[in-house]
Structure 1
Amino acid sequence: MTDPMTALGERTGRCQCGDIAYEATGAPDDPHLCSCPHETRISGGPAVLWVGFRKDGFSWTGPGGEPRWYSSWPTLRRGFCARCGTHLISVADDSEMIMLTGFSLDDQRGIEPVGHSFREQAVPWMAITLAPDPDLP
């Protein structure tokens, strides 16, 4: 059986209204939750699930083209749908990777968080069971 975290293939995703859509090819990388105050404010939830893909395997495919961009740090910008507000992507200027919000993917099979950034800042009622680290035997 092929491990879905290392399998190459195509993943698709979109915003809530479908105006902004994308394709990502290649193996998903570093699926993790983040509960920093910045992410919880942007998402309106207790954590954001991020999944990395290489920039060179990513493209916008929806009728709305690219999302609207917001620079949240000097070298980091985030994309969201201007029509429905769905937060879709985070792009660091100096990285070969992009980070997609995990639940904007049309199919989340094989996407299980292996880490939880800012776990100590998570709301106290949130309990997380992380997937085993894929790099460990």
Structure 2
Amino acid sequence: MTPAPVPPSGPARTGHCQCRRVTYRVLGDPIDPHLCSCPHETRISGAPAVLWVGFDRAGLTWTGPGGEPTWYATWPTLRRGFCPRCGTHLVSVADDSDTIMVTGFSLTDRSGTDPVGHSYRQEAVPWMTIALA
């Protein structure tokens, strides 16, 4: 018999959508905070880049009255969670990953989430200047 996964320990952070119907809690330290400017990401967000912050998937709990977000497959092995009420993009998770990525600005406390990388930097709009941690 395989033991059940042990949720991570460490600091707890909370986050929410714009209307606060879908809220969450994540445990542990941020993993790989980074910006992404791929054409896929910029079209979904309507922004020149999205700040992604990873956390151990086992440490994620949906806490609000709206429960889990509405899931949408944006790639064959990638799902994204959106609030069904206000449309806020909250999370992204690959099917085979133990890490869940939350949108950095959905977090209530963004300390320690300065981006350490910039995916698809060459695709970024030319007027955007990035300073990485």
Structure 2 length-normalised TM: 0.92
Partner in structure 1 of residue 29 of structure 2:
27
Over residues 8-28 of structure 1, what are the superposed CA-to-partner deviations in whole Å (9 max), with x where a residue is unaligned? Answer: 300100000000000000111
* Equivalent residues in 2 for 1:1-137, closer than 5 Å: 8-131=10-133
CA distance in 2, matches of 1:74, 1:117: 20
SS at match of 2:81: strand
Instruction: Give the drift of 1:74.
Output: 1.1
Q: Which runs of 4+ in 1 moved over 6 A?
A: none
SS at match of 1:120: helix
CA distance in 1, matches of 2:98, 2:73: 18
Partner in structure 2 of residue 4 of structure 1:
none
SS at match of 1:39: helix
Over residues 98-119 of structure 1, what are the superposed CA-to-partner deviations in whole Å (9 max), with x where a residue is unaligned? Answer: 0000000001112100000000
CA distance in 1, matches of 2:76, 2:61: 23
Over residues 64-106 of structure 1, what are the superposed CA-to-partner deviations in whole Å (9 max), with x where a residue is unaligned? Answer: 0000111011111000001101000001110000000000000
SS at match of 2:74: strand
SS at match of 2:105: helix
- Name the amino acid aligned to 1:41: R
Query: Given that residues 30 and 112 in structure 2 are in contact (C-alpha distance below 8 angstroms), is that contact kept between their aligned partners in structure 1?
Result: no
Unpaired runs of 5+ residues, structure 2, are 1-8
Number of residue pairs aligned between Structure 1 and Structure 2: 125
Query: Given that residues 11 and 29 in structure 2 are in contact (C-alpha distance below 8 angstroms), is that contact kept between their aligned partners in structure 1?
Result: yes
Unpaired runs of 5+ residues, structure 1, are 1-6, 132-137
SS at match of 1:110: coil
